Structure 1
Amino acid sequence: MLKEKLTQKKLVLASGSPRRQQFLKDLDLDVEIRLKPVEEIYPDELKGEEIALFLAELKAKAFENDLAENEILITGDTIVCIDDQALGKPKDKTEAIKMLQNLSGRTHEVISSVCLKSTQKTKTFCDKTVVYFKELSSAEIEYYIENHQPFDKAGAYGIQEWIGQIGVQKIEGSYFTVMGMPTHLLYDELLKF
Protein backbone atom coordinates (compact mmCIF):
# COMPACT_ATOMS: atom_id res chain seq x y z
CA MET A 1 0.00 0.00 0.00
CA LEU A 2 2.74 2.45 0.96
CA LYS A 3 4.84 1.52 -2.07
CA GLU A 4 1.93 2.27 -4.43
CA LYS A 5 1.29 5.60 -2.73
CA LEU A 6 4.94 6.62 -3.17
CA THR A 7 5.27 5.71 -6.87
CA GLN A 8 6.05 9.31 -7.84
CA LYS A 9 8.58 9.73 -5.02
CA LYS A 10 12.14 8.59 -4.54
CA LEU A 11 13.13 7.75 -0.97
CA VAL A 12 16.60 8.72 0.22
CA LEU A 13 17.88 7.30 3.52
CA ALA A 14 20.68 9.30 5.13
CA SER A 15 21.90 6.56 7.43
CA GLY A 16 24.78 4.14 7.38
CA SER A 17 22.96 1.94 9.90
CA PRO A 18 22.41 -1.54 8.45
CA ARG A 19 19.39 -1.89 10.76
CA ARG A 20 17.63 1.23 9.43
CA GLN A 21 18.39 0.15 5.86
CA GLN A 22 16.92 -3.29 6.54
CA PHE A 23 13.78 -1.82 8.13
CA LEU A 24 12.97 0.07 4.94
CA LYS A 25 13.60 -3.04 2.84
CA ASP A 26 11.30 -4.96 5.19
CA LEU A 27 8.61 -2.31 4.54
CA ASP A 28 9.04 -3.18 0.82
CA LEU A 29 10.47 0.26 0.07
CA ASP A 30 13.24 0.99 -2.40
CA VAL A 31 15.67 3.53 -1.02
CA GLU A 32 18.86 5.17 -2.12
CA ILE A 33 21.48 5.53 0.60
CA ARG A 34 23.16 8.95 0.74
CA LEU A 35 25.54 9.82 3.53
CA LYS A 36 26.92 13.13 4.71
CA PRO A 37 29.10 13.61 7.77
CA VAL A 38 27.27 15.47 10.53
CA GLU A 39 28.77 16.37 13.88
CA GLU A 40 26.13 15.23 16.37
CA ILE A 41 26.32 18.14 18.80
CA TYR A 42 23.23 19.55 20.49
CA PRO A 43 22.58 22.44 22.91
CA ASP A 44 23.12 21.51 26.58
CA GLU A 45 19.65 22.63 27.64
CA LEU A 46 17.92 20.00 25.49
CA LYS A 47 16.61 16.87 27.24
CA GLY A 48 15.44 13.43 26.08
CA GLU A 49 12.98 13.69 23.21
CA GLU A 50 14.24 17.20 22.33
CA ILE A 51 17.75 15.83 21.72
CA ALA A 52 16.54 13.02 19.46
CA LEU A 53 14.33 15.39 17.42
CA PHE A 54 17.10 18.02 17.17
CA LEU A 55 19.65 15.47 15.89
CA ALA A 56 17.28 14.00 13.27
CA GLU A 57 16.61 17.54 11.97
CA LEU A 58 20.32 18.40 12.08
CA LYS A 59 21.08 15.40 9.87
CA ALA A 60 18.33 16.46 7.44
CA LYS A 61 19.64 20.05 7.25
CA ALA A 62 22.89 18.72 5.79
CA PHE A 63 20.86 17.94 2.64
CA GLU A 64 19.11 21.34 2.53
CA ASN A 65 19.95 22.12 -1.10
CA ASP A 66 20.62 18.59 -2.35
CA LEU A 67 17.12 17.18 -2.79
CA ALA A 68 15.27 16.88 -6.08
CA GLU A 69 11.55 17.77 -6.35
CA ASN A 70 10.43 14.13 -6.21
CA GLU A 71 12.67 13.04 -3.30
CA ILE A 72 11.82 12.40 0.34
CA LEU A 73 14.79 12.30 2.68
CA ILE A 74 14.66 10.12 5.80
CA THR A 75 17.04 10.77 8.70
CA GLY A 76 16.93 9.43 12.22
CA ASP A 77 18.57 9.28 15.59
CA THR A 78 18.33 7.13 18.70
CA ILE A 79 19.27 8.01 22.25
CA VAL A 80 19.07 6.18 25.55
CA CYS A 81 17.91 8.19 28.59
CA ILE A 82 18.42 7.31 32.24
CA ASP A 83 18.22 9.67 35.22
CA ASP A 84 17.55 12.63 32.87
CA GLN A 85 20.87 11.92 31.17
CA ALA A 86 21.15 11.13 27.47
CA LEU A 87 23.53 8.34 26.50
CA GLY A 88 24.82 8.48 22.96
CA LYS A 89 27.38 6.17 21.39
CA PRO A 90 30.31 5.27 23.64
CA LYS A 91 33.68 6.71 22.62
CA ASP A 92 35.65 3.72 23.91
CA LYS A 93 35.52 0.52 25.96
CA THR A 94 35.72 2.36 29.30
CA GLU A 95 32.71 4.52 28.43
CA ALA A 96 30.79 1.47 27.15
CA ILE A 97 31.41 -0.36 30.44
CA LYS A 98 30.22 2.68 32.45
CA MET A 99 27.04 2.96 30.35
CA LEU A 100 26.15 -0.71 30.74
CA GLN A 101 26.90 -0.65 34.48
CA ASN A 102 24.55 2.33 34.74
CA LEU A 103 21.78 0.50 32.85
CA SER A 104 22.25 -2.76 34.79
CA GLY A 105 19.31 -3.72 37.01
CA ARG A 106 17.34 -0.61 36.05
CA THR A 107 14.83 0.74 33.55
CA HIS A 108 15.65 3.31 30.92
CA GLU A 109 13.98 4.95 27.97
CA VAL A 110 15.00 4.58 24.34
CA ILE A 111 13.90 7.42 22.06
CA SER A 112 14.13 7.07 18.29
CA SER A 113 13.37 10.05 16.08
CA VAL A 114 12.78 10.43 12.36
CA CYS A 115 12.85 13.47 10.12
CA LEU A 116 11.13 13.40 6.71
CA LYS A 117 12.21 16.20 4.39
CA SER A 118 11.31 17.22 0.87
CA THR A 119 11.86 20.46 -1.03
CA GLN A 120 8.42 21.61 0.21
CA LYS A 121 8.21 20.51 3.84
CA THR A 122 9.76 18.84 6.87
CA LYS A 123 8.10 16.54 9.42
CA THR A 124 9.88 15.31 12.56
CA PHE A 125 8.52 12.78 15.06
CA CYS A 126 9.73 10.29 17.63
CA ASP A 127 8.71 7.30 19.72
CA LYS A 128 9.73 6.13 23.21
CA THR A 129 10.08 2.64 24.61
CA VAL A 130 10.87 1.70 28.21
CA VAL A 131 13.45 -1.10 28.61
CA TYR A 132 13.93 -3.18 31.76
CA PHE A 133 17.42 -4.64 32.25
CA LYS A 134 18.32 -7.39 34.69
CA GLU A 135 21.37 -7.00 36.91
CA LEU A 136 24.36 -7.59 34.61
CA SER A 137 27.58 -9.06 35.96
CA SER A 138 30.96 -7.50 35.15
CA ALA A 139 31.82 -10.67 33.21
CA GLU A 140 28.65 -10.36 31.08
CA ILE A 141 29.40 -6.70 30.32
CA GLU A 142 33.03 -7.50 29.42
CA TYR A 143 32.02 -10.45 27.25
CA TYR A 144 29.45 -8.40 25.36
CA ILE A 145 31.78 -5.48 24.67
CA GLU A 146 34.66 -7.75 23.60
CA ASN A 147 32.53 -9.89 21.29
CA HIS A 148 30.01 -7.39 19.92
CA GLN A 149 31.86 -4.03 19.84
CA PRO A 150 28.76 -1.87 20.52
CA PHE A 151 30.51 1.46 19.86
CA ASP A 152 28.05 2.44 17.13
CA LYS A 153 25.00 2.07 19.39
CA ALA A 154 23.34 4.51 21.77
CA GLY A 155 23.70 3.34 25.35
CA ALA A 156 26.40 0.84 24.24
CA TYR A 157 23.99 -1.97 23.42
CA GLY A 158 21.81 -3.45 20.70
CA ILE A 159 18.65 -5.15 21.95
CA GLN A 160 18.86 -7.65 19.08
CA GLU A 161 22.33 -8.76 20.17
CA TRP A 162 23.55 -11.13 22.89
CA ILE A 163 23.12 -8.67 25.74
CA GLY A 164 19.52 -7.97 24.76
CA GLN A 165 18.79 -11.67 24.64
CA ILE A 166 20.20 -12.36 28.11
CA GLY A 167 19.63 -8.99 29.77
CA VAL A 168 16.37 -7.40 28.70
CA GLN A 169 13.56 -8.62 30.95
CA LYS A 170 10.76 -6.68 29.26
CA ILE A 171 9.93 -3.63 27.21
CA GLU A 172 6.97 -1.27 27.12
CA GLY A 173 6.63 0.03 23.59
CA SER A 174 8.01 -0.85 20.19
CA TYR A 175 10.93 -3.26 19.78
CA PHE A 176 11.77 -1.51 16.49
CA THR A 177 12.04 1.84 18.29
CA VAL A 178 14.73 0.32 20.53
CA MET A 179 16.51 -0.97 17.41
CA GLY A 180 16.57 2.56 15.98
CA MET A 181 13.49 3.13 13.81
CA PRO A 182 9.84 3.49 14.89
CA THR A 183 8.63 1.70 11.75
CA HIS A 184 4.95 1.87 12.71
CA LEU A 185 5.13 5.68 12.88
CA LEU A 186 7.34 5.93 9.80
CA TYR A 187 4.77 3.98 7.77
CA ASP A 188 1.90 6.24 8.91
CA GLU A 189 3.86 9.47 8.43
CA LEU A 190 5.06 8.50 4.94
CA LEU A 191 1.44 7.80 3.94
CA LYS A 192 0.47 11.31 5.12
CA PHE A 193 3.62 13.03 3.80
Structure 2
Amino acid sequence: MTETPLLVLASASPRRRDLLAQIGLVPDRTDQPDIDETPQPGELPRPYATRLAQEKAALVAGRTAEPALILAADTVVALGRRILPKAETRETARDCLAKLSGRRHTVITSVALCPSPAWTEGRATLRTVETAVAFSRMTDRQIDTLLDAGDWQGKAGGYALQGHAASFIRLVLGSPSAVIGLPLFETAQLLRGQKRGCTEHWIS
Protein backbone atom coordinates (compact mmCIF):
# COMPACT_ATOMS: atom_id res chain seq x y z
CA MET A 1 0.00 0.00 0.00
CA THR A 2 1.28 3.47 -0.86
CA GLU A 3 1.80 5.88 2.02
CA THR A 4 -0.58 8.42 0.50
CA PRO A 5 -3.61 7.35 -1.54
CA LEU A 6 -4.47 8.93 -4.85
CA LEU A 7 -7.13 11.60 -5.06
CA VAL A 8 -9.46 10.77 -7.95
CA LEU A 9 -12.10 13.19 -9.18
CA ALA A 10 -15.14 11.29 -10.42
CA SER A 11 -16.03 13.91 -12.99
CA ALA A 12 -14.89 15.25 -16.33
CA SER A 13 -16.23 18.72 -15.49
CA PRO A 14 -13.64 21.46 -16.09
CA ARG A 15 -15.60 23.64 -13.66
CA ARG A 16 -14.99 21.22 -10.80
CA ARG A 17 -11.29 20.97 -11.66
CA ASP A 18 -11.04 24.76 -11.69
CA LEU A 19 -12.82 25.00 -8.35
CA LEU A 20 -10.45 22.48 -6.77
CA ALA A 21 -7.52 24.46 -8.15
CA GLN A 22 -8.83 27.51 -6.25
CA ILE A 23 -7.98 25.75 -2.99
CA GLY A 24 -4.73 24.29 -4.28
CA LEU A 25 -6.01 20.81 -5.10
CA VAL A 26 -5.05 18.96 -8.27
CA PRO A 27 -6.54 15.46 -8.56
CA ASP A 28 -4.10 12.70 -9.43
CA ARG A 29 -6.55 11.77 -12.17
CA THR A 30 -10.16 12.06 -13.27
CA ASP A 31 -12.56 9.25 -14.04
CA GLN A 32 -16.00 10.11 -15.35
CA PRO A 33 -18.72 7.76 -14.08
CA ASP A 34 -21.42 6.75 -16.52
CA ILE A 35 -24.59 6.32 -14.51
CA ASP A 36 -28.29 6.64 -15.20
CA GLU A 37 -29.27 10.06 -13.86
CA THR A 38 -33.02 9.60 -14.31
CA PRO A 39 -34.87 10.55 -11.11
CA GLN A 40 -36.74 7.70 -9.50
CA PRO A 41 -40.55 7.96 -9.30
CA GLY A 42 -41.46 10.47 -6.60
CA GLU A 43 -37.81 11.21 -5.78
CA LEU A 44 -37.27 14.61 -4.19
CA PRO A 45 -34.37 16.92 -5.10
CA ARG A 46 -32.17 16.45 -2.02
CA PRO A 47 -32.33 12.62 -1.91
CA TYR A 48 -31.76 12.63 -5.68
CA ALA A 49 -28.57 14.71 -5.36
CA THR A 50 -27.19 12.58 -2.53
CA ARG A 51 -27.98 9.35 -4.32
CA LEU A 52 -26.22 10.38 -7.52
CA ALA A 53 -23.12 11.68 -5.72
CA GLN A 54 -22.80 8.43 -3.77
CA GLU A 55 -23.41 6.27 -6.84
CA LYS A 56 -20.77 8.15 -8.84
CA ALA A 57 -18.19 7.81 -6.06
CA ALA A 58 -18.94 4.12 -5.47
CA LEU A 59 -18.78 3.27 -9.18
CA VAL A 60 -15.36 4.85 -9.65
CA ALA A 61 -14.07 3.44 -6.36
CA GLY A 62 -15.08 -0.05 -7.43
CA ARG A 63 -12.96 0.11 -10.58
CA THR A 64 -9.94 1.78 -8.98
CA ALA A 65 -7.23 -0.78 -8.21
CA GLU A 66 -4.84 1.50 -6.32
CA PRO A 67 -5.32 2.93 -2.82
CA ALA A 68 -7.36 6.03 -3.55
CA LEU A 69 -10.03 8.38 -2.31
CA ILE A 70 -12.75 9.16 -4.82
CA LEU A 71 -14.37 12.61 -4.84
CA ALA A 72 -17.74 12.90 -6.57
CA ALA A 73 -20.45 15.54 -6.64
CA ASP A 74 -23.87 16.17 -8.09
CA THR A 75 -25.70 19.47 -8.47
CA VAL A 76 -29.48 19.75 -8.73
CA VAL A 77 -31.57 22.83 -9.40
CA ALA A 78 -34.88 22.54 -7.57
CA LEU A 79 -37.96 24.66 -7.97
CA GLY A 80 -39.93 23.65 -4.93
CA ARG A 81 -40.21 19.87 -5.08
CA ARG A 82 -39.49 19.82 -8.81
CA ILE A 83 -36.12 18.77 -10.21
CA LEU A 84 -35.17 20.90 -13.20
CA PRO A 85 -33.24 19.00 -15.88
CA LYS A 86 -29.76 19.53 -17.23
CA ALA A 87 -30.25 21.54 -20.38
CA GLU A 88 -29.08 19.54 -23.37
CA THR A 89 -31.21 21.46 -25.89
CA ARG A 90 -32.06 25.12 -26.38
CA GLU A 91 -35.74 24.34 -25.84
CA THR A 92 -35.04 22.73 -22.46
CA ALA A 93 -32.87 25.67 -21.39
CA ARG A 94 -35.58 28.13 -22.44
CA ASP A 95 -38.21 26.25 -20.45
CA CYS A 96 -35.99 26.23 -17.35
CA LEU A 97 -35.15 29.93 -17.57
CA ALA A 98 -38.81 30.84 -18.10
CA LYS A 99 -39.71 28.90 -14.94
CA LEU A 100 -36.88 30.54 -12.95
CA SER A 101 -37.60 34.09 -14.14
CA GLY A 102 -38.57 36.33 -11.23
CA ARG A 103 -38.45 33.46 -8.74
CA ARG A 104 -36.26 32.07 -6.01
CA HIS A 105 -35.07 28.48 -6.28
CA THR A 106 -32.69 26.13 -4.50
CA VAL A 107 -29.44 24.65 -5.77
CA ILE A 108 -28.52 21.43 -3.99
CA THR A 109 -25.01 20.03 -4.30
CA SER A 110 -23.94 16.80 -2.66
CA VAL A 111 -20.27 15.87 -2.25
CA ALA A 112 -19.31 12.25 -1.61
CA LEU A 113 -15.95 10.77 -0.69
CA CYS A 114 -15.45 7.03 -1.08
CA PRO A 115 -12.23 5.03 -0.56
CA SER A 116 -11.23 2.41 -3.10
CA PRO A 117 -11.18 -1.20 -1.82
CA ALA A 118 -7.38 -1.05 -1.70
CA TRP A 119 -7.41 1.80 0.83
CA THR A 120 -8.87 0.30 3.97
CA GLU A 121 -7.98 3.29 6.17
CA GLY A 122 -10.24 5.67 4.29
CA ARG A 123 -13.88 6.25 5.12
CA ALA A 124 -16.92 7.18 3.09
CA THR A 125 -18.41 10.58 3.91
CA LEU A 126 -21.07 12.83 2.46
CA ARG A 127 -22.05 16.48 2.73
CA THR A 128 -25.01 18.22 1.09
CA VAL A 129 -25.25 21.98 0.66
CA GLU A 130 -28.34 24.00 -0.22
CA THR A 131 -28.06 27.50 -1.67
CA ALA A 132 -30.91 29.88 -2.45
CA VAL A 133 -30.68 31.68 -5.80
CA ALA A 134 -33.10 34.28 -7.16
CA PHE A 135 -33.44 35.57 -10.71
CA SER A 136 -34.88 38.94 -11.61
CA ARG A 137 -37.79 38.85 -14.01
CA MET A 138 -36.56 38.33 -17.56
CA THR A 139 -38.24 39.21 -20.83
CA ASP A 140 -38.39 36.76 -23.72
CA ARG A 141 -35.74 38.83 -25.47
CA GLN A 142 -33.42 38.67 -22.46
CA ILE A 143 -33.85 34.90 -22.26
CA ASP A 144 -33.00 34.69 -25.97
CA THR A 145 -29.82 36.68 -25.31
CA LEU A 146 -28.81 34.22 -22.59
CA LEU A 147 -29.50 31.30 -24.87
CA ASP A 148 -27.46 32.87 -27.68
CA ALA A 149 -24.48 33.10 -25.29
CA GLY A 150 -24.45 29.29 -25.18
CA ASP A 151 -23.15 28.73 -21.65
CA TRP A 152 -26.39 26.97 -20.66
CA GLN A 153 -25.36 23.75 -22.38
CA GLY A 154 -25.26 20.80 -19.99
CA LYS A 155 -26.05 22.99 -16.99
CA ALA A 156 -28.64 22.04 -14.40
CA GLY A 157 -31.52 24.48 -14.68
CA GLY A 158 -30.17 25.88 -17.94
CA TYR A 159 -27.78 28.47 -16.52
CA ALA A 160 -24.28 28.97 -15.14
CA LEU A 161 -23.72 31.28 -12.18
CA GLN A 162 -20.27 32.12 -13.56
CA GLY A 163 -21.71 32.84 -17.00
CA HIS A 164 -23.95 35.39 -18.67
CA ALA A 165 -26.86 34.59 -16.35
CA ALA A 166 -25.03 36.40 -13.54
CA SER A 167 -26.40 39.72 -14.80
CA PHE A 168 -29.91 38.54 -13.91
CA ILE A 169 -29.18 36.85 -10.58
CA ARG A 170 -30.14 39.21 -7.78
CA LEU A 171 -29.49 36.92 -4.82
CA VAL A 172 -27.19 34.07 -3.86
CA LEU A 173 -27.75 33.03 -0.27
CA GLY A 174 -25.26 30.31 0.64
CA SER A 175 -22.30 28.86 -1.26
CA PRO A 176 -21.57 30.31 -4.73
CA SER A 177 -19.06 27.53 -5.42
CA ALA A 178 -21.77 24.94 -4.69
CA VAL A 179 -23.97 26.54 -7.35
CA ILE A 180 -21.09 26.28 -9.83
CA GLY A 181 -20.63 22.62 -8.97
CA LEU A 182 -18.57 22.00 -5.83
CA PRO A 183 -18.91 23.60 -2.37
CA LEU A 184 -15.28 24.33 -1.56
CA PHE A 185 -15.53 24.85 2.20
CA GLU A 186 -17.43 21.61 2.72
CA THR A 187 -15.16 19.69 0.35
CA ALA A 188 -12.08 20.89 2.23
CA GLN A 189 -13.68 19.91 5.54
CA LEU A 190 -14.43 16.42 4.27
CA LEU A 191 -10.85 15.96 3.09
CA ARG A 192 -9.47 17.26 6.38
CA GLY A 193 -11.56 14.62 8.13
CA GLN A 194 -9.71 11.78 6.42
CA LYS A 195 -6.68 9.96 7.80
CA ARG A 196 -4.05 12.24 9.29
CA GLY A 197 -1.04 12.41 7.02
CA CYS A 198 -3.15 12.18 3.91
CA THR A 199 -4.79 15.47 4.86
CA GLU A 200 -1.53 17.38 4.62
CA HIS A 201 -0.93 15.89 1.17
CA TRP A 202 -4.32 16.97 -0.16
CA ILE A 203 -5.09 20.19 1.68
CA SER A 204 -3.54 22.09 4.58
Structure 1 length as normaliser, TM-score?
Answer: 0.90
The number of aligned residues is: 186
Q: Which residue of 2 aligns with 1:88?
A: 85
Question: SS of the counterpart of 2:145?
Answer: helix
Moved more, 172-181 or 26-35: 26-35
2:65 aligned with 1:77: no
Sequence identity of aligned pairs in percent?
27
1:113-152 aligned within 5 A: 113-118=110-115, 119=117, 120=120, 121-152=123-154
Structure 2: segments with no counterpart, 5+ residues = 195-204
Q: CA RMSD in A?
A: 1.5
Give the aligned residue type for 2:59: A
Who is 1:25 aligned against? 21
Q: 1:11 aligns with which of 7, 10, 26?
A: 7
Instruction: Determine the C-alpha separation between the residues in 2 that align with 1:115 and 1:103.
Output: 28
Amino acid of the residue matched to residue 177 of structure 1?
A
Residue 177 of structure 2 corresponds to residue 176 of structure 1: yes
Whichever residue aligns with residue 191 of structure 1, its letter is: R
129-138 or 84-93, larger mean C-alpha shift: 84-93
The CA deviation string for residues 110-158 of structure 1, in whole angstroms up to 9 with x for no partner, is: 0111110103432122101000110011111111112224121100000
TM-score (norm: length of structure 2): 0.86
Q: Describe the SS at the equivalent of 2:60.
A: coil
4+ aligned runs moved over 3 Å, structure 1: none
Q: Amino acid of the residue matched to residue 60 of structure 1?
A: A
Please give the alpha-carbon distance, in whole angstroms, between the structure 1 residues aligned to 2:103 and 2:26. 39
Give the whole-Å Cα distance in 2 for the aligned partners of 1:189 and 1:64: 17
Checking the alignment, whether the CA contact within 8 Å between 2:52 and 2:74 is kept in structure 1 is: yes
Deviation (angstroms), 1:8: 1.4
> Please, which moves more after superposition, 126-135 or 52-61?
52-61
Contact 1:76-1:114 at 8 Å conserved across structures: yes
CA-CA distance at 1:69 after TM superposition: 5.0
State whether residues 42 and 54 of structure 1, in contact with CA within 8 Å, keep that contact through their aligned partners in structure 2.
Answer: no
- Per the TM alignment, residue 68 of structure 1 is displaced from its structure 2 partner at its CA by 3.8
CA distance in 1, matches of 2:7, 2:109: 19
Match of 1:156, SS state, is: coil
Do structure 1's residue 39 and structure 2's residue 36 form an aligned pair? yes
Q: 1:149 to 1:188 in 2, by over 3 A?
A: closer
Task: Tell whether the 8 Å contact from 1:60 to 1:117 is kept in structure 2 after alignment.
Answer: yes
For structure 1, the 5+ residue unaligned runs are: 1-6
Deviations 1:23-46 (Å, cap 9, x if unpaired)?
112221221111232221232222
Q: Quick one: structure 1 residues 171 and 149, their matched pair in 2 at CA, closer, same or farther if it must change by over 3 Å?
A: closer
Which residue is equivalent to 1:189?
190
Q: Please tell me the residue identity of whatever aligns with 1:17.
A: S
Task: Measure how far apart 1:102 and its partner are.
Answer: 0.3
Aligned to 1:61: 58
Q: Distance in 1 between matches of 2:174 and 2:180?
A: 12
CA distance in 2, matches of 1:112, 1:48: 10
Deviation at 1:174, TM superposition (A): 0.8
The 2-side partners of 1:75 and 1:173 are apart by: 20
Q: Does the 8 Å CA contact 1:160/1:179 hold for their aligned counterparts?
A: yes
